[in-house]
């Protein structure tokens, strides 16, 4: 009788171990499935965010104007949305400094400059509110939706609460 009770006890222990292992395998599968679902949802959220940023940057509903300043003085305003053919022009200063500016696909870019650091060349093409600057040659290019550069100073840049 003692042996039978001991044997039944061992069998019940083995069954509980098997059941616990089965439950842990099921729990691991549930955890892996939830992790996979979370990864898929995060990927979808990332892709939607990228699409929103892409279309916000490439919206052509507004007219953009490039205002080119040298030594703090406005020297030229270009309606980027009205440009039908790509072209380049050179801005020079009194100190033999030059910047070659290109208008390409309704965007503006500095393609060559004799400044020592060439940061302005590496700023890329712009048709948004990020200014292109060449500090050694004292050149500033701002892109706004305002045709006259004088009204851009009173615009609200950002509101912080």
Per-domain boundaries in the chain: 1-59, 65-150
Average of per-residue pLDDT values in the chain? 79
| pLDDT of residue 120 exceeding 60 | yes
CA distances from residue 19 to 12, 23, 44, 148 in whole angstroms, order as listed? 10, 6, 37, 77
| Band of residue 28 on the pLDDT scale cut at 50, 70, 90 | confident
Residues 67, 90, 88, 113: what is their CA dihedral angle, to the nearest 10 degrees? -90
Kindly report the CA angle at 105 between 93 and 78, in degrees rounded to 5? 40
CATH class of residue range 65-150: mainly beta
Residue 95 pLDDT grade (very low, low, confident, very high; cuts 50, 70, 90): confident
Confidence band, pLDDT 50/70/90 cuts, at residue 18: low
Is the pLDDT at 44 greater than 90, yes or no? yes
């Amino acid at each position: 009788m003692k042996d039978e009770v001991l044997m039944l006890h061992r069998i019940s222990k083995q069954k509980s171990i098997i059941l616990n292992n089965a439950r842990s395998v099921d729990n691991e599968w549930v955890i892996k499935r939830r992790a996979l679902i979370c990864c898929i949802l995060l990927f979808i959220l990332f892709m939607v965010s990228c699409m929103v940023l892409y279309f916000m940057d490439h919206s052509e509903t507004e007219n953009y104007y490039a205002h080119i300043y040298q030594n703090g003085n406005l020297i030229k305003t270009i309606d980027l949305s009205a440009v039908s053919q790509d072209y380049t022009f050179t801005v020079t200063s009194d100190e033999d400094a030059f910047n070659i500016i290109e208008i390409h696909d309704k965007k503006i870019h500095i393609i060559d400059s004799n400044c020592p650091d060439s940061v302005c060349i590496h700023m890329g093409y712009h048709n948004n509110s990020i200014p292109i600057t060449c500090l050694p040659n004292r050149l500033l290019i701002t892109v706004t939706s305002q045709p006259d550069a004088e009204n851009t100073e009173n615009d609200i840049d950002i509101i912080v609460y």
